[in-house]
Amino acid sequence: MAGPWYDNEMKSCVGCSTARLYLPSALVGVASGMRSTVGLAAVIVKGDPEKLPPVFKHRLAVPAAGVAVAVELVLDKLSFTGSRLEPTGMAGRLVFAGVASALLARERSPVVPAVVVAIGAAAVSAKVAHDVRARLAQSVPDRVVAAGEDIVALGVAYAACSC
């Protein structure tokens, strides 16, 4: 578990420590709720290889993560793609968020609460992003809205791994 957090004056910042411990998990959950693969891909690409399990250290792990994200970003724009709120779409988002959060939390916070935070954030994010996209698509082409969501999801995933 991580040590104490300090404010700018080097005083213990107990009140903010919980939020700081779980912020990466919340962010990776938000990113996964928008685009299921981006959270885990960010952890694989930006994570410390020494702290990742062997399967994610393989020389093909980073390219595979990139391909997974690219395929998802393309498939999301196609008309036959199902809703993220359908059981299969939601399950994948929750699983990816949980795995990514567990990998992030291994060195800095208790894993189970971190996974719960990420899964909750992914579920809420999936619903909010769906509703925002549907609303915006009434006045803006859906592909433009989807591309904007892609950028936000990638940025949030990057931020999750930078905390």
Q: For 36-72, how does the pLDDT look when each residue is reduced to its tens digit (9 = 90+)?
A: 999 999 999 998 888 899 999 999 999 999 999 999 9
User: Residue 77: what pLDDT?
Assistant: 87
Q: Which range in 47-51, 103-107, 115-119 is most confidently predicted, on average pLDDT?
A: 115-119
Q: Is residue 14 part of a domain?
A: no
Confidence tier at 7 by pLDDT (50, 70, 90): very low
User: Residue 1: what pLDDT?
Assistant: 43
Q: Is residue 34 part of a domain?
A: yes
Q: Is residue 81 part of a domain?
A: yes
Q: Is residue 140 part of a domain?
A: yes
Q: Is residue 4 part of a domain?
A: no
Q: Is residue 154 part of a domain?
A: yes
Q: The domain containing residue 89 runs over which residues?
A: 20-160
User: Residue 2: what pLDDT?
Assistant: 47
pLDDT tens string 134-143: 999 899 998 8
If phi > 0 it is left, if psi is from -120 to 50 it is alpha, else beta; for residue 47 that is beta
Q: Is residue 2 part of a domain?
A: no
Distance CA 114, CA 120 (A): 10
Q: What average pLDDT does the structure give for the chain?
A: 89
Confidence tier at 123 by pLDDT (50, 70, 90): very high
User: Residue 81: what pLDDT?
Assistant: 87
